[in-house]
Structure formats: structure tokens, C-alpha cells
Amino acid sequence: MRLTALAVLLAPLAGCAGASAFRCPANGGPAWRELATDHFVLRTDLPSARAASLAGRLERMRAAVEGALGGLELPDAVELPGRIEVIAFASRAGFEPFAPDGANGYYLRYAGGPPRIVLSGEIQAWQRALLAHELTHHFLAGRFPRQPRWFAEGLAVYMESLGDDPAQGALVVGDPPRERLERARQARRTVRELLAWDGRAGDREGSLEYYASSWLLVHWLVHSRPDAFAGLQRRFAEAEAPDAAWRAVLPEYDPGRPGGPERLDALLAQHARSRIEVVHRTVEVPPSVGYFENALPPAEVHAIRLALWSHGPEKPAAALRAEIDEALSEAPAHPVALQLLATFEGEDPVRLARASTAAHPEDARAWTFLGLALEGGKVAAEREAAYRRALELAPENPAALHNLATELDAQGRPGEALPIARRAARLAPWSPPLLAGYAAILSELGRCAEAIPVLARALDVLPEQSPEASRRDLETKRDAYTAQCAR
């Protein structure tokens, strides 16, 4: 089975001409800066003082989420190396050209590169709640090899109360999110629906109903059945299948038992109508945060915008080409700009990639571009060398690991590829393509029993409302591994 290498670019990524109101720093626009803290790399056009304040809030929120999850006695986390990238546009107008319609912010963690949070820099309460939600997902990824969607989203919503950040002093977790609670009272999803939820929730309103109902179920478990909640966590941490874990811990609400989930529906309805129990937990956070600040070169501002280009509303090809041209006027062989230039008709990707590596021999993005550009068996050795060089320059980057594993497997060397693919999956346990790549190599080596739960996790973390073809592809592979084990 030929795996697919990832065109995930490996460092700061983003253009000038794409939005008419934008002026990059080289053309008199506001300066962009990079602030590195212990756990984040913030790239922003906020003024220095506001950027420093945001960096501090990011670390406060991370400490608060970690402390609050610790209060729930979840299993110990596997520390995920590297920093979370945060792109914060100073204004909503700067953010919207690179954001999905109606989004207040978003978290990119599926493709295989470093996880990246994108938002506008006002950092109002709803944005802080979003940060708490997404950071919860980041922590849970290091704790649970299996996470049914109701569990992951319900617990992430549970942490949203940390968004009421007073900017100094301790944070408090426990208050029910008001809008979630009202939705849970008015438009609940049944327990059967929650247990079967795989991300195909339909429209936005339907998704919000699933989120609110998941929160209600988690809240009920935390406050009414903490023993059962702890039991479910232990089993998810041991990679037990979610349906089996539910039957073992809560047999009275087994979907296979007539009327089982419906009895829990009645309890949850009562729980939602009652005076919701609030147990406040004070979470200590650092009073101050240290950071290093550097100016972000104009070319890297372009690279950030280009990397986010496809996440916003559709833009004409001419706008993309203008953005690329302006980036190249700042850095003539920039790997991000040249890789996108290679998608235009008549451009030779190999020539452009070689120019990029010659000009930027210490940039992992250039070597990744070269590896992706080289095609065919005759250049396999050079392609492998390019991916190895990218990995040397970015040793903790999951996509760089995946790309090398993919190449070794394609050359018929799955045994060499296995430890590399395993490390990629451990560093990015939220990434379906990396998990699927690891599972495929396990299967090739005859280890189908290990491949099945890895593929199941890839389905667990498939982004909501992913293309149906992506889901079918993973399900087909899972079924193939099951059949392989049955032979």
C-alpha cells in the first residue's frame, strides 16, 4: 500500500496582495513579531505590549487547563514536545480572509505539522473559551488513545468556563457555559445519538446540539457518577473500544439493552432542568510569563498568510499569484512561495525546489518541497535524502517523520519505516493521515491486530464534517485489517 507524503510546511508559514486592505511590513504596514514562551510561539501584528499580554494569557490558559484536568484525576499525560503555534491577527478584518465562514477562531491539528491556533487578537471572553476548549483537546490527545467524540467534546466544553479569565490571579473552572446549558435544555441529542456520534452532525445547529448534549453527559458523569467517569477514562487510556468500555462501566445504559439509553435520557433531562450543581475549582496560574521576542521578516508574514490561504473564502487565482510574487520580491527563493508557485501551469517544481534548497539549505521546508517535487523510482535515493535532511532540521516535526517513513515504505523497507512512523503517530496523535500511515506499515509487517486500534483512533479524530470519501477510505482500511487478522 503506497502511502502519501504530506505537503505540510515545517515552520512559520502565511501574503500581501490577497486582501486589498493589507500592507505587509516592507510596504509600510504594521510590524509582525514572534514571541516564544515555554509552550507557544505567537506570531502577530499586535503592538508589542498587547502581544506580550496575549502571550501571557496563552500560558495562563494552558496552566489553567492542565490544572483543571488534573483536578478531575485523569490519567497522566504523555508530554507532547514542541510548541503550539498561535497566529493572532490584530483585527477581525485581518483574520476573516483566512478563516472559515462564521468562525471566531480555529485550530489546525490534523494534517501532521505542529498544532496551530488561528484567531483575531482582541481576546474577548469567547476567544478565551475557545482557547480553553482547544487546549483541552491538546492535553487529551496525550492521555487517551481512544476518545469517543462525545467524551472529547463534552470535556472540552466543560473547560470553557476558564474563558472567564480575570487577567490576573487564579482562574476558576466549574460554571456551566450558559449558551451550552440553554441549548442542552431546549434541543438535546439522545444518548444513543451521542454514543454513535462520529462527526457527521450535519449543519452547524446540529453540531452545536451535539456539543451541548455531550457537555451535559460529561457534567452528569463528573457530578453524579464520578466512579463511572473514572472507569471510562481508565479504559480509554488503555485503548479499549469506546462501545465496549461503555457497556462494561455503565451496563444499565447499554444500547444493546432495550430501553437502556432511554433511561439515561430521562436522567439527563432531569439533570438539565435541575439547579445545575456547580463545584468551583480554583486553578493557580503563573503570575508572569517569560518570553523571547523577535521581529518577523516580511517574507515570513507572507508565508503565514499563504499557509492559511485555503482556510478562508475562495479567492481568485490572480490574487494568489500576486501574493506569491510579492513574497518572492522579499525573498526570491522562499520555499513556501516557490512551492505554491509550482502549482501554476508551466512551472517546473523540481527546478523551483532545487533553487529553494540552494538558497535556504538550513530550512526544512525547502527540503520537504524537494522531496515532494521529485517523482519516480529513478530519483528515490535523492528523494529519501531530501526527507532525511528535512528531518535533521526539524527532528520533532511529525510530518517530517511521516514523509521519511512514507518514502522508506515505498521503497519496500517497511521494517525501517516502522519506528519512524510510530514516532510520528506519537507526536501527532490527533492526525488521521499519520495514524493511517502507521497502521498501514503495521499491516504490511503482518501486525494487523496492532493496526486495527490505530486506524480506529484515526477515525476518532477525523475532523467534523470531513469529506465522506475520507471517512470511507479509513473504514475500508480498517475492514481490510480486520479481514487480514481473520485469515
**CATH for 317-486, options being 1.25.40.10, 3.30.70.1070, 3.20.20.70, 3.30.310.10:** 1.25.40.10
CA distances from 3 to 37, 414, 421, 444, 462 (A): 35, 11, 11, 12, 18
Backbone phi, then psi, for 295, in 5-degree steps?
-70, 140
Of the candidates 73, 69, 137, 79, which has an alpha carbon nearest to the alpha carbon of residue 109?
137
- At residue 193, the pLDDT reads 95
CA end-to-end span of the chain: 19
Highest mean pLDDT: which range of 161-170, 215-224, 443-452: 443-452
97-109: pLDDT as tens digits: 999 887 878 888 7
pLDDT for res 16: 41
Is the pLDDT assigned to residue 27 strictly greater than 80?
no
Helix, coil or strand: residue 182:
helix
Please report, for the chain, the start and end positions of each structural domain, with discontinuous segments joined by +: 317-486
pLDDT of residue 421: 97
d(CA 124, CA 130): 10
The pLDDT-based confidence of 184 (bands split at 50, 70, 90) is: confident
Distance CA 116, CA 109 (A): 6
Could you tell me which residue, 11 or 308, shows the higher pLDDT? 308
pLDDT digits (tens, 9 = 90+) for 218-227: 999 988 899 9
* pLDDT of amino acid 25: 75
Give the least confident one: 159-168, 315-324, 424-433: 159-168
| Per-residue pLDDT band at 74 (split at 50, 70, 90) | low
For residues 393 and 387, give the distance between their C-alpha atoms in angstroms, rounded to a whole number: 10
Is residue 290 scored above 50 in pLDDT? yes
Following CA atoms 207, 208, 213, 214 in sequence, which dihedral angle do they give, to the nearest 10 degrees? 70
Residues 256-285: what's their mean pLDDT? 81
Please list the residues that pair with 108 across neighbouring strands: 116
Checking if the pLDDT of 201 tops 70, the result is no
The mean predicted confidence, pLDDT, of the chain is 86
Kindly state the cell numbers that stand for 366: 525547502
For range 395-409, the mean pLDDT: 95
Where b means 16+ CB within 10 Å and e means fewer, 129-151 reads bbbbbbbbbbbbbebbbbbbbbb
Cross-strand bridge partners of residue 41:
36, 85
Sheet bearing 105-108, strands edge to edge:
105-108, 116-120, 84-89, 40-44, 33-36, 292-295
